[in-house]
Amino acid sequence: MPLDPAPASTPSPTSPPPPVRFWSVDDLPALDPDPFLDEMMREEPVTRIRLAHGEGHAWLVTRYEDVRFVTSDPRFSREAVVGRDVTSMRPEPVASQTAGLQYIDPPGHNRLRRVVARAFTGRAMQRLRPMAERRAAELLDAMAEAGPPADLMEQLHGPFPIAVIRDFLGVDEKDWHRWAATGEALLSAGPDAEERAKAAARVTRARIAELLQRRRAEPRDDLAGVLAQAAADGELTDDEAISLATAIQVSGGHAVRNNSGSMMYALLSRPHHMDRLRREPELLPKAVDELFRYVPHRNGVGIPRVAVEDVEVGGQLIRAGEVVYNAYVAANRDPAVFPDPDVLDFDRTNGPHLAFGHGPHHCMAAIMARMEAEIMIGSVLTRFPGIRLAVPPREVEFQRQGLIRGPRTLPVTW
C-alpha cells in the first residue's frame, strides 16, 4: 500500500493533544485482542501513553497506514532513544542499545544488516530446513510413543524452535539448556524482573563472547561463524556481534515458541480450519501468513522511536524529541485494511501484515520463522490427523513473559 507523502512544510496539528493515559498492558486470555488498543484505534488512533517503567510519556500509533508511515520515515529515529530513560514495558533492554541492530538508523543500520543477511540466505535456509524437519519428526515420534494426552508446548513448541536456533547460531546441543534459561529471564515479567533481566544479560553476553571466540579458532558455516569472521575483518565490533547474536537467540527461540503455540491453539480451537488444511495442504503457506496476522504475537509494544523534527501523524503534531511507539498487533487488525479483522480467514487478499515490522527494521528472521511455522503445523497435521484439544479452548492457560504472549500448556489428544 502506498504511504502518505511526507508534508512539504512545517505541519500543524488538526486536533489538540490527547490526555496521557496509563497503559498497564494486562495479561489477556487466549488470543483476545487488547481492549485498550481496540479502543484507541476506534477513538484515538494517535494517542499518548505512560507505561510501567521509565520516565515521561510517549505517543502510541495504532492504525495500519500510520504505523507504516512512522516505521519507514527517517524523521523517526531509533538511535535517538539511546541514553534516554523513556517510558517502557521493560526495566532492561533485551539487546544492547549501543551496539545493536535494533537501535541504529541507516546508513549504519545497513552495514550491520548486510552482515547478518549472509546467515539468512536461501541457501542457509535450504541447509537448515531438512535438519528442522528431522527434529520435528523426532519430537512427534516421541510424543506418539508416550501416547495421549500430551502437552504440545512441552513436546514440540518448546524444544523445536530452540533446536532450530541452536543449529542456526552454532551452539552445542549439550550447552543449550543453559542458554534457554537465560533467554526466558531476558523476557521475564514480575516483581523481580529487573534484577533477573540484568543478570541474564550479563550471563548471555559472556556466553556469546565465548562462542564467538571459539568460532575464530574453529570456523563453521553458522551465524556465530558469520559474526566472528565479520568482527575479525573489522566489519563489526565485538559488542555489535554479541548484541546481534543475543537478539536473534531471543527472538528465534522464545518468540517463535510462544507465537507458534498460539498459532496451533488458533487451529485446534477452530477444527474447521484444521480440516481444511488437511484437505488442502498446498494452502499451508498462505494459512501461516494469515495466522501471523491474526495471532497477537506480543503484549504491548516494543522498541520506540524518537521524532527528530516536528511531524504530523494521523492529525496529531508530534514534536521533535518526543517518543513514539507503534502497535503492530493493532495495525494487523485495522478494519480499514483487513475486513472482519477478528476473523481468521485463509482466503484474504488484503495488504501485507506487519507481524515482522516494516521499513528498515523489518525482521530479517521472517523467512526462518515462516519456515518453522510451516514445519510445525504441517508435521502435526500429517503425524496426528485426529489431533484435538484435550480440554475446552477456554481452559487452555496462557502466560505473559513480559513482552511475549503464548500458551503455557497446550493439552491435546488424538
Say how many Å lie between the first and final Cα of the chain, rounded. Answer: 43
User: At a CB cut-off of 8 Å and minimum separation 6, what does 176 contact?
Assistant: 162, 163, 166
- pLDDT value for 127: 85
Answer yes or no: are the C-beta atoms of 20 and 49 closer than 8 Å: yes
Question: How high does pLDDT run on average in the chain?
Answer: 88
Residue 49 has pLDDT above 70, yes or no: yes
Residue 270 has pLDDT above 70, yes or no: yes
Q: What nine digits make up the cell of 335?
A: 478494519
Answer yes or no: are the C-beta atoms of 312 and 11 closer than 8 Å: yes
- pLDDT value for 92: 67
Range with lowest mean pLDDT among 166-175, 270-279, 285-294, 347-356? 166-175
pTM: 0.87
Q: Of 32-41, 107-116, 157-166, 167-176, where does the model show the most confidence?
A: 32-41
249-254-255 Cα angle (round to 5): 100
Residue 120 has pLDDT above 90, yes or no: no
Task: Encode pLDDT of 54-68 as tens digits.
Answer: 999 999 999 999 999
Based on DSSP, count helices (H) and strands (E) in the chain, helices before strands: 15, 13
- pLDDT value for 61: 98
Mean pLDDT of 176-203: 65
Could you give the 3-state DSSP secondary structure of residue 306? strand
Cα–Cα distance, 96 to 100 (Å, whole number): 5
| Residue 295 DSSP one-character state | S
Cα–Cα distance, 63 to 304 (Å, whole number): 16
| Residue 233 C-alpha from the chain's centroid | 30
Task: Encode pLDDT of 71-95 as tens digits.
Answer: 999 999 999 999 899 999 877 665 5
Please give the C-alpha separations between residue 138 and each of 128, 135, 189, 223, 380, in angstroms, as whole numbers.
Answer: 16, 5, 32, 24, 12
Answer yes or no: are the C-beta atoms of 48 and 17 closer than 8 Å: yes
User: At a CB cut-off of 8 Å and minimum separation 6, what does 200 contact?
Assistant: 182, 183, 185, 186, 188
- pLDDT value for 173: 74
Helices 256-268, 284-294: axis angle to 10 degrees equals 110
Could you give the 3-state DSSP secondary structure of residue 44? coil
Pick left, alpha or beta for residue 56 (phi over 0 → left; psi -120 to 50 → alpha; otherwise beta): left
- pLDDT value for 1: 41
- Confidence band for 194, pLDDT divided at 50, 70 and 90: low
Could you give the 3-state DSSP secondary structure of residue 81? helix
The CB-side HSE value for 189 (13 A sphere, CA atoms) comes to: 17
Could you give the 3-state DSSP secondary structure of residue 50? strand
* Exposure b/e, 84-123, CB count within 10 A at least 16 = b: eebbbbbbbbbbbbebbbbbbbeeebeebbebbeebbeee
**Closest alpha carbon to 255 in 149, 368, 354, 151:** 368
